[in-house]
Amino acid sequence: MSERDQGVKNPSRRALLRGGLAGGGAALMAGLTAGKSIAAGDPAITDIQDWNRYLGDGVDAAPYGMPSEFEADVVRRNVAWLTADTTSSINFTPLHALDGIITPNGVCFERHHGGVAEVDPMQHRLMIHGLVEQPLVFTMQDLMRFPRQNHAYFLECAANSGMEWRGAQLNGCQFTHGMVHNVVYTGVPLRALLEEAGVKTDGKWLLAEGADAAAMTRSIPMEKVLDDCLVAFKMNGEALRPEQGYPVRLVVPGWEGNMWVKWLRRLEVGDKPWHQREETSKYTDLLANGKARRFTWVMDVKSVITSPSPQAPITHGKGRTVVTGLAWSGNGTIKDVDVTLDGGRNWHKARIDGPSLSKSLHRFYYEFDWDGSELFLQSRAIDELGNVQPTKDALRAARGENSIYHNNGIQTWYVRADGVTENVEIS
């Protein structure tokens, strides 16, 4: 409380009030929380708390606001054993603690291969060259002079849920599914910049390169580039965060996250793909027959229940219970989400709430009366093309046992009678 207390005019009076009220307040509160009904004429229960008895912080306390100290656990978290060093590492969005479809900028998961580049926007340049009529260099200010668009898109790492291929490994949807986030991007269509440069007729691929120490580099077919890719400079209204590519990143809607090149500095037009490291030795999957899947760009239809989940167990006992989760597809919108309480014997249609936007997260809810018996919770999404989220076993049958990427299989949470929830796999 120390930081906040500094803004309070009279901490001694406040401390006094706290101390003086603690005993009586607790006793009264205990009686009221056991049952929720109160009789008219009960003592005014809203008077027993102290925060209405002192002036709080003024507006100068936080020119840029932060979450409540009571929410200090809602942060991105790392998995220590996952990579050798945090400079080349991953953290995960706290999906279990969020609601709706927007991911706040402060908790959007990170994945970078050379740490967070610290780019001065006044010095940064974006170059377009290769098979173009006129090579061009853009300052950030130049980019802002093109017509802008705004879209909510999910960004999912191809490796999201990758550790679950070999069964239930991680106890929490933050860790199993937290390499996804969803923000509203503001940017200019990549098509507009390429039209300025003039793509030659044999220009069929685009190489995108980042300005970070890893010089992250991917090849993208021109058809996708001209369809819906954005060169984005804002997320959820404000400038991109450094770990999300400040001051400018590529947005490749519905496609795997590492193509969304951050700290974007170079776009080269060519007649064939470049076969860079991150599209050959990485981000490919060895199949049982010895061949590898590669250029697996689209993120397939997927969903996960975010609450209840291992980090968000049921603590209220029997009765009314809200099941909620997220669904998404790189193919467009989500048409339906089904939820099962019994490991797939009976499926119930969930309620999708909030905007249903193409290549964006969708929020779903399923409300039921819990009788206190154990649950095997699963969700199953169906996208606008009719693709149905598969089981993990179906994925293994199709792709063998060597895969890391593109696990969009159905996830199971086991809820015990006491509400404690675990990551399990059932066949």
Site for a second copy in 97-116 (CB under 8 A): 97-108, 110, 112, 114-116
Is the Cβ–Cβ distance between 160 and 134 less than 8 Å? Answer: no
Pick the stretch among 70-78, 294-302, 373-381, 384-392 that binds a second copy (CB under 8 A). Answer: 70-78
**Phi/psi zone of residue 263: left (φ > 0), alpha (ψ -120 to 50 degrees), beta?**
left
Q: Is 420 in the site for a second copy (CB under 8 A)?
A: no
β-pairing, 375-383 vs 334-340, is antiparallel
β-pairing, 319-328 vs 362-370, is antiparallel
Nearest to residue 102, comparing CAs of 246, 239, 237, 233? 237
- Size of the residue set binding a second copy (CB under 8 A): 130
Nearest to residue 179, comparing CAs of 277, 335, 326? 326
State which residue, 305 or 410, has the beta carbon closest to a second copy.
Answer: 305
Rounded least distance, CB 401 to a second copy, Å: 29
Nearest to residue 359, comparing CAs of 408, 411, 299? 299
Q: Note the residue count of the chain.
A: 427
Tell me which residues in 238-257 interact with a second copy (CB under 8 A).
Answer: 238-239, 241-243, 246-247
Nearest to residue 50, comparing CAs of 123, 122, 1, 109? 1
Rounded least distance, CB 322 to a second copy, Å: 6
Tell me which residues in 117-136 interact with a second copy (CB under 8 A).
Answer: 117-121, 123-125, 127, 129, 134-136
Q: Is 396 in the site for a second copy (CB under 8 A)?
A: no
Nearest to residue 227, comparing CAs of 254, 200, 207? 254
Q: Is 84 in the site for a second copy (CB under 8 A)?
A: no
Token code pair at residue 329: 């597809």
Q: Is 345 in the site for a second copy (CB under 8 A)?
A: no
One of 16, 215, 287, 426 touching a second copy (CB under 8 A): 215
Pick the stretch among 65-73, 269-277, 341-349, 387-395 that binds a second copy (CB under 8 A). Answer: 65-73
State which residue, 353 or 425, has the beta carbon closest to a second copy.
Answer: 353
Pick the stretch among 81-89, 282-290, 292-300, 398-406 that binds a second copy (CB under 8 A). Answer: 81-89
